[in-house]
């Protein structure tokens, strides 16, 4: 009887551990400089709309953007560290695109850099 109880307890513990480590994660929420929260899925929607990602690219970008979001969530909004995470990710993102998509992607990168600089200037002006 004791052996059966111990085996059931072991099976239950193994099931809990397996479920804990294999269950899908929820999205990572990253707060931007204006206080809104963004997820990798929302960025993926923007990429799909502006760059025209196909189904294979969407899956590749989904994984990459979630990885980037997890790293960015460790740094404050509009920080230099976050900008560096973004800059390091650009070549990896660009490598997933077809040549005809590069112009739209480059425009998005320039826009992001420009917004970062605007927020940085605004923050330095407000702190004076």
Dump pLDDT digits (tens) for 95-119.
Answer: 999 999 999 999 999 999 998 888 8
Q: What is the pLDDT of residue 125?
A: 77
Q: Write the CB contacts of 65 (distance below 8 Å, at least 6 apart in sequence).
A: 40, 43, 44, 47
**Span 40-68, mean pLDDT?**
94
Q: Which residue has the higher pLDDT, 31 or 68?
A: 68
The model carries a pTM of 0.73
Q: What is the pLDDT of residue 23?
A: 65
Dump pLDDT digits (tens) for 14-40.
Answer: 888 777 677 666 788 888 877 889 899
Q: 12 burial class (0-12, 13-18, 19+ CB within 10 angstroms)?
A: exposed
Q: What is the pLDDT of residue 126?
A: 75
pLDDT at 55 over 70: yes
Long-range contacts (CB closer than 8 Å, 24 or more residues apart) made by 65-74:
65/40, 66/27, 66/28, 66/40, 68/40, 69/27, 69/28, 69/30, 69/38, 69/39, 69/40, 69/43, 70/28, 72/30, 73/28, 73/29, 73/30
pLDDT at 88 over 80: yes
């Amino acid at each position: 009887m004791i052996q059966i109880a111990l085996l059931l307890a072991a099976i239950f513990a193994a099931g809990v551990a397996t479920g804990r480590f294999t269950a899908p994660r929820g999205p990572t929420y990253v707060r931007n400089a204006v206080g809104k929260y963004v997820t990798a899925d929302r960025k993926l929607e923007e990429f799909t709309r502006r760059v025209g990602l196909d189904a294979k690219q969407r899956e590749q970008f989904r994984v990459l953007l979630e990885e980037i979001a997890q790293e960015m969530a460790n740094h404050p909004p509009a920080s230099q560290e976050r900008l560096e995470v973004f800059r390091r990710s650009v070549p990896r993102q660009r490598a997933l695109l077809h040549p005809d998509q590069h112009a739209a992607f480059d425009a998005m990168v320039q826009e992001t850099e420009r917004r970062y600089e605007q927020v940085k200037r605004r923050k330095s002006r407000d702190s004076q």
